[in-house]
Structure formats: structure tokens, C-alpha cells
Chain A
Amino acid sequence: MPKKRKNDPFKSFLNWLENGGNALDDEMQDALREETDEPSAPEPKKKAARKAAGKQTEEFRPKRAYADTWWYRLLAVIVAVVLIGLLLETVERMPRFGEADTLMDSELTEFYVKHTKEDTGALNIVTGIILDYRGFDTLGESHVLFIAVCTVLLMLSIYGERDEQNRLLQGEMERHFEPGDDVILQSAARVLTPLVFILGIYIILNGHLSPGGGFSGGAVLGAGLILYQNAFGYEKIEKFFTYKTFKGVSVCSLMFYSLAKGYHFFTGANRLDSHIPNGIPGNILSGGLLLPLNFVVGCVVACTMYALFTMFRKGEF
């Protein structure tokens, strides 16, 4: 495939239309080729494992059937251009940023600003909206995260019996290279991890009082878990966080969320008293269901972040 980089853009575009590009750039292709062309002289075990992994990447390279035809690429360009045009047009029609009369005619905004505090007991209106008025949406979002993890699990365990050994080998490799014993990373992580965890817990528990909430705090917690894993390896983290923990925490959290929200909807729709006091706005124990809901959402998000990372690294939990 001839590469003409310094030519004028239109010509190189035509060239691309005719020949197509490669998703992997030259350097990576060379790396792959080197790996597969390695002489099969007596080599250490580590290398054999890597070779197996290399072959795997060879196998899983996408076949270019449709993407090889010129009309496919032309259509791709047309779709992209139309999409960009549509989006720009939409932006043009949106209200200008920072103008005084933006959304002045919206009753909803006023309603939320006026009633959130007494309705939900939350000082942070955003949390009041997403966990109380729009609690059903957030329930769906939490489930989407969980379903994403389940899908990744399914996708990565699709190898079947034949490649079972390959997969195990890959997991072994990841374990073999972990931890890197990086002094800089480890000393930084030793200081940062507790701070990150405390910040995450603070954000979650104060979700109804100050900016933040379940999702942000959970993401911070997940990032902390990933940092800890990167610095100290799987063995350390598996002392307190395993696949079992992930399953238990995620499922319990989602079930609690569903039950709490179901109870709330049931009592609300039938105009019954839910017996959950709102408390004094501003206290940490206030806002009715908001605090526990923030907590469970944080748990689900933290688990999901870490689970996605681990599964992509090891191919299993």
C-alpha cells in the first residue's frame, strides 16, 4: 500500500478512497510482524506465552469485506458530513450562552428552584432532581452500567473450551508482569490512595448537601481502586476486593435501589405517607432516601469502573 503523506490532501483522500487505510499504523504493524516472525528456536516460557498472545491478535484482526469497497468509504464520508452539518445547525438554534432571557419561559426551572428544598430536603438541587424527581432515570443509568459490565464479561468469555488455556495463559501473563515494583508509582500511591478514597467517600456522603453525588464520588472511588491495583498488584487488592465482592455489592446495591424507589413510587402514586422523614435541610442525616441512594449508586459506579479495568487487563475478573 503506497503511502503519500506529503501530497496534497485531496489526492491523498482519493488514494484513501481507492485503497483504504489501515486501522493499525505502521509501527504497530511492524511490532505485530516481528512478534509473529520470531524464530522458533528454544525460547523461554515467557516468550512462548507472548507469542500465543501475538497469534491471538493476528486471529482477531477485523476482516475487511465491506470496508474494502469504495462506496462504503464514500458513504462513510457522506454520513459524517451530514451528521456534522446537522449538529452544527442544532447548535445554531440553541439559546445563546449566558443570555438573560434563556429559559425564562420554563416553569420547570422555577419549580425546581422553589420546591426542591422542601420536597426532598436536599440543598444540592441537582441531587434532588436526579435522585428524587428523576429517580427512575438514575435507576436505569445504574442498571446500564451493570449491564455494560455483564456484556464485557460475556464478550471476554466467548473464547470457549478450545481457547480456555489461551485465556488462562493471558491471565497468568498479566499476573506475571504485575506488580511492576515501580518505586515512584508506589510511593505516590501510598500517599494518594487514602486521600482519593476519603475524597470519594466525602463526595458520596455529602451528595445531598454539596456538589457531587453518587456518580462522581463512585468514579473517584473507582479511580482510587485502579490506582491502588496498578501500584501494588492484584494480590494486595484481592485481599479486600474480589469478583465475589463485586457481584455481591453490585447486586445488593441495585436491588436496594430498586426496592427503595419502588416503595417511593408506590406510596407516592397512592398518596400514602412514606414514613421517611426529610429531616432538617443541611444536616448530614437529611434528605430522606437521598443519602442511602447516593451511597448505593456510588458503590455500583466504583465497582463498575474497577471491574471494567480489571476485565480488560486480565480477560477475567
Chain B
Amino acid sequence: MEALNVILLLFMIVCAIAVAATKNLLAAVITFMAQGLAMSVVWMLLQSPDLAITEAAVGAGVSSILMFAALKKIHAIREKGEAEDAEEAEE
């Protein structure tokens, strides 16, 4: 159990640094999601299932989805249709 704890905490630290370091915003959000998921497992190991459920639903789920929506709004993610159009334009 101790080893699992250490692995999870190290994973979270790596993820947190990666979120700040990466230039790709989409990758940053996905890394953030992974960090939230690890966090929820850590809450479970700390014997607070209430928080684990909330963290899994909000931290790893809804907040990342909201960030995806925001990235789409500022055109940081290209949609399927848009990508096709861009290819057409290049041709």
C-alpha cells in the first residue's frame, strides 16, 4: 500500500509539472485529467470516499470537459469539419 501511495504521488507531481511545462493545450488538459484521476485514488487511500467520488466526477470529468469547451471556443482545437476545410485550402 505504501508503494502504491508513493507511485501515485510521484505520478501526480510529474503530471502537475507536465501541465505547466507542455506547450500543447490539449495535452495539458488531458494531463490535468490524469492528475485528477490519480488524486481521486489517493483520496480513496486516505479513507475519504466522499471526496474520491466528487474528485473523480468534477476534477477528472466535468472541469476538463469545460476546459475542452473553452479551448474550442478560442479555436485551439480544430474540429473535424474545420480540419477538412483547412486541408482543402492547402490543396
Chain A interface residues (CB < 8 Å from chain B): 24-25, 27-28, 31-32, 34-35, 38, 46-47, 50, 53-54, 57, 124, 126, 177, 180, 203, 211-213, 215-217, 219-220, 222-223, 226, 305, 308-309, 312-313
Contacts and interface: CB of A to CB of B under 8 A. Distances in A.
A47 B61 contact: no
A217 B57 CA distance: 9
B23 to A, nearest CB: 6
Contacts of B61: 219, 223
Contacts of A124: 50
A32 B75 contact: yes
For chain B, give the interface size range: 20 to 34
Given A50-B82, A312-B69, A216 B57 contact: yes
Contacts of A180: 80
B70 interface: yes
Interface of B: 23, 25, 49-50, 52-54, 57-58, 61-62, 65-66, 69-70, 72-76, 78-82, 85-86, 89
Contacts of A203: 53
Nearest to A314: B69
A306 B49 CA distance: 24
Contacts of B52: 211
Contacts of A32: 75
B83 to A, nearest CB: 11
A35 B50 contact: no
Nearest to A223: B61
A216 B40 CA distance: 12
B61 to A, nearest CB: 4
A211 B80 contact: no
B50 A220 contact: no
B62 A309 contact: yes
Q: What's the dominant secondary structure at chain B's contact region?
A: helix
Contact of A212 (B53, B66, B79, B85): B53
Most buried by A among B62, B66, B70, B82: B62
A54 B74 CA distance: 9
Nearest to B78: A31
Most buried by B among A47, A203, A211: A211
B85 to A, nearest CB: 7
Given A177-B79, A212-B53, 7 more contacts: A177-B80, A219-B61, A220-B53, A223-B65, A226-B65, A309-B66, A312-B70
B71 to A, nearest CB: 9
Contacts of B74: 24, 28, 57
Contacts of A312: 66, 69-70, 73
B75 A54 contact: yes
Most buried by A among B49, B65, B72, B81: B65
Contacts of B23: 25, 27
Nearest to A218: B57
Contacts of B76: 28, 31
B50 A226 contact: no
B54 A219 contact: yes
B51 to A, nearest CB: 8
Given A211-B50, A212-B49, A308 B75 contact: no
Contact of A308 (B50, B66, B72, B85): B66
